[in-house]
Amino acid sequence: MRQFVLFLSLLFVLSCSDQNSVPKDIIAKDKMGKILWDLVQADQYSTQYLVKDSAKINVKQETMKLYEEVFRIHHITKDEFQKSFAFYLAHPDITKVMFDSISANANRQRMQVYRNTPRIPTKLNVK
């Protein structure tokens, strides 16, 4: 009976453990979100500006340089990122929260740009 109680206690402790915890060798959720945001920004820059000069430069190679710069800024390696990214993709409950946060950040920035854009009058006051 004592072993059964010990087993139930262990089962209870394991079931109450944090399902959203991240192993120590994986990039933390907050930092990973920032890295992903910067990678999205690098990709957007590549899509909007580098493609226009595609006759002069190798867009894919330049995009990879931008990604490497993001990794350097965040003090990680490409391998660390890939390992962490694979972990997060395997844990959609964590990834959803992270991507929701990135989406909210994008919406906030979009609204900030919208607020700072001068308005064009829709009707002219012509007499």
Domain assignments of the chain as residue spans, ordered by start: 25-116
Report d(CA 58, CA 63) in Å as an integer.
9
Whether pTM > 0.75 for this model: the answer is no
Structure-model confidence comparison of residues 7 and 30, the more confident one? 30
Summarised one tens digit per residue, pLDDT across range 24-77 is: 999 999 999 999 999 999 988 888 887 776 666 788 888 899 999 999 999 999
Shortest CA distance to 25 belongs to which of 87, 71, 115, 73? 87
Distances (CA, A) of 121 to 111, 115, 118: 19, 15, 10
